[in-house]
Every structure is written in structure tokens, then in C-alpha cells.
Structure 1
Amino acid sequence: MARYRAKKKAEKLIEGDYAAQYNKLWNYCREVKRANLVSNVFMTVTEDGEEQDRFERLYMCLLACKKGFLAGYRPISGLDVEVENKLTSKWFVTELVTDLDIKDEDKWTFMTDKQKGLIQALHKLLPVVEHRMRVQHIYNNFKKQHSGLALNDRIWSLARASYKNLFVALMMALKEFNEGAFKWLVDNTTPQYWVRAYFCTSPKCDILLNNLCESFNSSILEARDRPILGMLETIRLYLMARMETKREWMRKSSGSVCPKILKKLEKVKNAASRCIATYSGDWFYEMRFMYGDRYSVNLASMKCSCRRWELNSIPCSHAMSASALTKEPPKSFVHEFYS
């Protein structure tokens, strides 16, 4: 107990008094806006009958982050806010729409957990955007009634199915294997939210997990243990350092395609060896897979009937096999998003 009190006293000396920092928030917001012109920084308070208003929430969108995103973004974002607070969700999404200048809603995708307030805010403010949900969250609810490794594998196979006929076939196989599990999925889920076969292709991203948020949250765990000013400053400095690290990393790379994408292309090359391509004219190819499946590839429009190429704009194994018959390097078939 004495050690705990000593630790708390030391933290107070280093970080400052938790409550006192809230009184400095207005000055902090003004200073951030002064040092980062045109940044969107503000907070709201609630009146609770006391002499001072009580802090409610704070929103911050730094200009450097916004400019960098808008200069080379893919139209997809992961969101994570308070679970059951509808007012907070609506407030946050409203500010985000303004900062990201979202106009072509049909080209945007947002990924969330199954947070009621956030889902309602998206449906009301952005009714046309694609909304995806984290597959792991769906599976966590599913396994409460239908557990087991075999069903786990089938759920992920369903989620990864890249075209609708494959999804339907896998669902029929699930029905034969476990009709109760099949019925649960039909009654409690909508494929458009979690199955690649139904995903929009405009964001060029086929993620099934909300790693966009989860990786950021894991990076700021230490910051979240600090008083509010310490937390905000730690996050701001983290973002600044991360952007510079990425700039230096890209300066050292050569070529027109990002290094990680080149590594993915190498993996796809191995899978392409199992395909046989037949040219049918005008950049069209018929692909025969060693297990009997057949696909059509159009190198000119960068499309394959398996839809994997359209979903993430990195050539699939079928496209890679077709490109091998041309004189074009595989990286020339990668979308400019990855340049």
C-alpha cells in the first residue's frame, strides 16, 4: 500500500494533477490551433450546476494529418468511439465528414465494430456509404451458440469468399454440415457487412478486421494512462514522429511501387504457377486452375472474375499468370494507390 501511494505521488509530481489539467484545456486547444494553423481543434463542456463547467469531449484533426490523408488516400476509414453514446457518435461523424470533405458517399467505406450509436450515426449522416463490420466481432457472437474449430474455419472461409457464387456454395455446404449455424448466420448477419463477395471495390481494400483502429489503439496504450494533457501531447508527438519515420523509409526505397506491395506480388507469383493461361484476344485470357476452376481475366481493365484484383488492386494469381504471357512487368498492373 505504501508503495502504491509513493507511486501515485511520484506520478503526480511528474505528470501534474489530473483534475488541474482539465482547467488548462482551453489554453491547450488555442495553442495547438496557433501552432498548427487551420487545424480543427475544439472541445465541448456540460453545465452541471457547479461553478465550473465539466469537460465532455474533445475533437482534434491536425492539418498535417488531414493534408497527408487527402493527398493520397484510399476512401476507407476505421472508426471506434464510445459504444452506446449516440450523441458522441453523431457529433464525431459530423466533424469527420467535414474534415475529410466527404461528398461522393458511394465511393467511401467505413469499418466499425457492432456499436449501435456509431452504426445509427453512419446510417443517418452517410446513408450511401459502404459499412463493413469486423468479422471477429461477428464470430465472437456466433461462437456463443456454435463453437468449434471446424465452424471457425468455415466462418472465415465465408468471409474471404471473393465472389457471390462461391459464398452461396460455401453457405450450402455449411447448411449440410450444421443447419443451426447456417440459420444463425441468416437470421443475425447481413453479408454486405462482412463478406468480401459483397464488398464495394472503390476503396481498393479487402480488409476483414478493423486493424486500422486496433493498431492505433495499441500504439497509444501508454498515452491513455496519463492525465489528459499528457495523453494528448504523447499522441501528437507519436503522430509527428511516425510521419517522419515513414518519410525516411520511403526516401530509401526505389522503384514506382511501395516495398510491401512488391513483397505481396512475390507471394502471388508462387500461386500463379498453379494456373494455365490461354489468350483469347484484346487482353482477355481464360484461366484454368489445376483443381478445375476457371476464371476470365481482362488485363486492360484490371479485372478478374474472382474479384480479388478489383477488391485490392493487386494482381491475383490468375492475373499474374496472364501477365506472364505479356512483356509487361507485374508491377505495371498494380493500382496507382500503391505508387
Structure 2
Amino acid sequence: MQKYIKETWRLVSTTNQCQNGRLLALKWLDREYEQQFAHIRGYVEEILTHHERTTAIVETYPNAKNQDVFSRFYVCFEKLRTRWKSSCRPIIGLDGTFFKGIVKGCLLTAVGHDPNNQIYPIAWAVVQAETGDNWLWFMKNLKADLGLEDGSGYVIISDRCKGLLSSVKAELPKAEHRFCVKHIYENLKKNHAGKDLLKKYVWNVAWSCTMTAYRKNLQKLKEYDVPLFEDVLKMEPRNWTLAFFKLGSFCDKVENNSTESFNATITKARGKAIIPMLETIRRQAMVRNAKRQKKAERWDGRCTKYVKLVLKELKEHADKCVVSRIPCEHAYGAMLDAGLDTDDYVYECFYTGKQRDCYSDNVKPMRGPGFWMAGSHRLVVAPPEQDPPEGEGSEKKKKKKSKKGEKRIKGKFESPKKKKRQVQKTKRTGRIMHCSKCGEAGHNAARCKIHPKKKRKMTEEASDQANTSSQGAGNGAFQGPETMSLTQPSQMSD
């Protein structure tokens, strides 16, 4: 903060000034918390005013005082929806991330891939917890907005959250649902701790492009560790192995990095109040699309930059094969020998024209809260704090102290707490004293007769001074420069 103040306004601030300013800002945020929830309906009206055919929903429930309490919020902008359907690949990454500020809840996100293999946000929602009911509500709205029907021809990538799995199965039964291998590896790591080559073998199985490679990597995994091999077989390979993926999705992803990257870009936004958070996410999407539109206009190639980099790597590999006279296993080598244009064999979803079309129409800017917070809409009350449901939330939350009188059951991999050694103190009464020198009872080291304490030897000067002082004390007078009597004669009056 001190550095920012100095660079922005060229002022020198102290640490106490910055700390006091931070505390004051936090107080303002606490006051703003309830005010933002109160005007969430006005924010929805503002979205629908400036973005036609956009889906913006806020749901509430009544409390004991007949007030509308906030439940959940969903938004899918029409510009993002239509451009994803016309220009992006049929891939959707789903994930939920928790808030970091005073707002308690979870943000559900749906992220796609543009023709240049970059993240493209589609829709997001604010809910109180990552439950099956909230995921089902989110999937119903997303399915209606994107026209997914039964999910045929679409790819869903996510983790293995129970509520998410059941909602995808219920709403998109024919979609290809892939599991993030990173989360699979983390779960296997908990049950098979200490395996140094666990990551290598699990990812090799996931990246197996053919059935032959899949069986070969499984055999290597079995030779490495049989219990690990058995746990891997319990999972359906069609959900996380490349060899079992359907053709036509134009995606070889086995991880959900797109949503993880999107969540990382909104880290600061997740620490704000609800309306500033939603506005920050919308503005970031608007600015990101505007910048990528300019980059797409400047790119002259027929295919996107991502495809050119992939083809460049294949060309280098093909050149090595020509030099070594070993036939190239990829078709790129044959294309070079035949003098064919490799761009003709790239699917149109990777063309630069699709990239330009993807960002040709952007999310529109909106007015500030001063224009719509004074509306006639019914105010909404902030939701009460809720405990996270069992089985959900981070490990840090599970390790928090439980309530008084309740014993928390420790996790499988938590270290047991060592009990303090209880030392029972004995009373001094009735104890028999022993000497530390001779070991006999009845006396201590200071009064030991077997090993008596040696007296210090005095020097000659010290002995002379001691003798002189003893003589003076015996005469009853002090030996000084003059002899003084210690008694005075009494004065008698006449």
C-alpha cells in the first residue's frame, strides 16, 4: 500500500497510516455488505435494460419477518452465449470456487475454449453452497440458454463433485463427461501416499492415445504397485483416458485447466461485495474480449496462432524423421512430401475468421449504481451464515476447532495429537532426605561428615586484617587516625 501511494500520488505514508486506512476500508465494506444485497434486484434490472435477450435471475425466500432473503443469482449474457455457439468448440468446463471476502458462498462457473484455445466465460452464478440442488439449478439454466438439449455432441469437463455428477447426468445424459485427471491424481495420492512415481504412471494412462498404449501403461502401473492398479481400474476409463474419448469434440484435454485459470483471474473480485464482484467479473470479460478482438484483427494467418505453434512442432519432428530416414508416424510428414497445404486439413473451428467472429460482438458497458439503486424494486436481505455441508469445503475448514463438548473425528492422514505427559507431584512430608555425595539418608551434602565441605584458605594480607579488626573489637574502641571513646561523661547540673 505504501508503494502504491508513493507511485500514484508521490506521497510518503507511514505503516500506521496504511493500517488505519485499511481498517477504515474494512468497516466501509461491512456497511456495504447488506446494502449490496438490498439492491441486487436493481442490478438485475440494469443488466436486462442494457443487454437484450440476456438471462439474469435472482431467487429469494421469505423469512419469519416476511422479508426476501437472498438465495442465488445466475447470469448468462446474450453476446457471450451467441458467440460461443457460433464460433467456439463444443466444450464446457464446470467448476465451483469459494469467495474470499465478507460474502459467504460459492461461485459456479461455465467456461469454454475459443478458436485460439483460450478461456471464454459463458455463464456464472452465486449460490450459498456447492450442493446438488444448486448445481442442478445451474445446469437447467445453462442448458436452456445454450440449447444443449440432451447433450449429444458436447463435452463437459469437471471434477468428481457428487452434486455436479448427478446434475450433469440428469440434464445432459448423452454428453461426454470427462473428469479432471489432476483431481483424480490428488485423490489417489491421499490413499497411496509416499509413491514417488504415482504422478508419472497416472498421467501416462490418461494420455494414452490408443488401446495398445492404454494396456501397456496399465501393465506398467500394475508392476509398480498392485493396490494402486486396482484403484485405477475402479474408475471408468471413458471419463479420463484419451483413448476412450469420442471423435468430433476437437479437444484432447484431460484436465480442467480452463476453469482453474478463469477462477485465478477473478481472485481479487471474489474478495468484494456481491455487486462489485459481479461487476468486476463482467468488466474483465468485456475488456478481455476487446483485447482479443484487436489481436485477432492483427493476425494474418488462415489458422489461429495456437494451431500454427502445433504445426510448427510437428514440422520439426517431421524434419528430424527425414534426416534420420525413419518414416514419420504423423500425417504431417506425408503432407510435406506431397507438397500439400496443411491449413487445408485443419478444421474450420481453428480458423482465424472464427476467432474474429468470436470477439466481434462484446458485452456492453453499464451505468453505475447511482442510476439504479434508487429504484422501486423490493429490497433483498443478506442471507444468514451457514455451515458448509458435510464432505464439502477445503481441508483447512475441516481442521478448525469444533464446538465445546464435541469431539472431532480426525481424517485418515491427519497426524495424531500427542497427549501431554501427566506428572504427579508428591508432597515433601514423609520424604527421607539423602546426601548427593555419599548417598546415605538423614543428611544433605552441606552436612555430610564423610565428604565435608572444604574451607577456603585465606591469604596473609586478609589474615592480618582479620587479626587487627578482632583486636580492636576486643578493646572496645575503633582504631583510626584518632582514638575516640565510645562513651561520653555525663553532664551533671549544679
Question: What is the TM-score when the length of structure 1 is the normalising length?
Answer: 0.83
Counterpart among 164, 167, 170 of residue 214 in structure 2: 167
Q: Which moved more, 1:68-77 or 1:87-96?
A: 68-77
| Residue 208 (str. 1) matches residue 254 (str. 2) | yes
Give CA deviations for 1:267-308 in whole Å, capped at 9, x if unaligned. 1212224557xxxxxxxxxx946xxxxx6xxxxxxxxxxxxx
The structure with the largest alpha-carbon Rg is 2
Higher relative helix content? 1
Task: State the 1:331 CA deviation.
Answer: 2.2
Offset, 1:167? 0.3
**Distance in 1 separating the partners of 2:221 and 2:292:** 44
Query: Is structure 2 residue 134 aligned with structure 1 residue 122?
Result: no
Structure 1 position 38 matched with structure 2 position 85: no
The alpha carbon displacement at 1:117 in A equals 0.3
Distance in 1 of aligned mates of 2:283 and 2:130: 30
The amino acid that maps onto 1:331 is D
Is 1:77–1:212's contact at 8 Å kept on the other side of the alignment? no
The residue that corresponds to 1:92 in the other structure is: 138
Partner residue of 1:59 out of 54, 74, 78: 74
Which of 77, 96, 105 is the matching residue for 2:151?
A: 105
- The alignment status of 1:334 with 2:346, answered yes or no, reads yes
1:145, 1:10 → 2: CA distance? 45
The TM-score, its normalising length taken from structure 2, stands at 0.58
Task: Kindly indicate whether structure 1 or structure 2 has the higher relative contact order, using CA contacts under 8 Å at least 6 residues apart.
Answer: 2
Distance in 1 (CA, whole Å) between partners of 2:150 and 2:173 is 11
* Aligned position for 1:185: 232
Distance 2:156 2:66 in 1: 41
Question: 4+ runs of 1 displaced by more than 3 Å?
Answer: 1-6, 11-16, 81-84, 273-276
1:152-198 Cα offsets, whole Å, 9 max, x none, are 111111111111221012111221222121111112x1111111111
Larger mean Cα displacement after TM superposition, 170-179 or 225-234: 170-179
In structure 2, what is the Cα distance between the partners aligned to 1:4 and 1:142? 44
Of 229, 233, 245, 2:275 maps to 229
Gap change, CA 1:149 and 1:102, over 3 Å in 2 = same
Give me the whole-angstrom Cα distance separating, in 2, the residues matched to 1:166 and 1:288. Answer: 20
Q: RMSD of aligned C-alpha atoms?
A: 2.2
Amino acid at match of 1:167: Y
Distance 1:274 1:181, change over 3 A: farther
- The alignment status of 1:137 with 2:149, answered yes or no, reads no
Out of 104-113 and 243-252, give the one that drifted further. Answer: 104-113
SS of the aligned residue for 1:325 comes to: helix
| Structure 2 contact 150–171 (Cα < 8 Å) conserved | no
Q: Which runs of 5+ in 1 are unaligned?
A: 277-286, 290-294, 296-317
Change over 3 Å in CA distance of 1:104–1:90 after alignment to 2: closer
- Cα distance in 2, alignment partners of residues 163 and 45 from structure 1: 50
Match of 2:332 among 313, 320, 335: 320
- Residue in structure 1 matched with residue 242 of structure 2 by the alignment: 196
Question: How far apart are the structure 2 equivalents of 1:52 and 1:3?
Answer: 39
Are residues 58 and 251 of structure 1, via their aligned partners in 2, closer, same or farther at CA, if it must alter by over 3 Å? same
Q: Which ranges in structure 2 are unaligned for 5 or more consecutive residues?
A: 1-15, 97-105, 107-128, 352-494
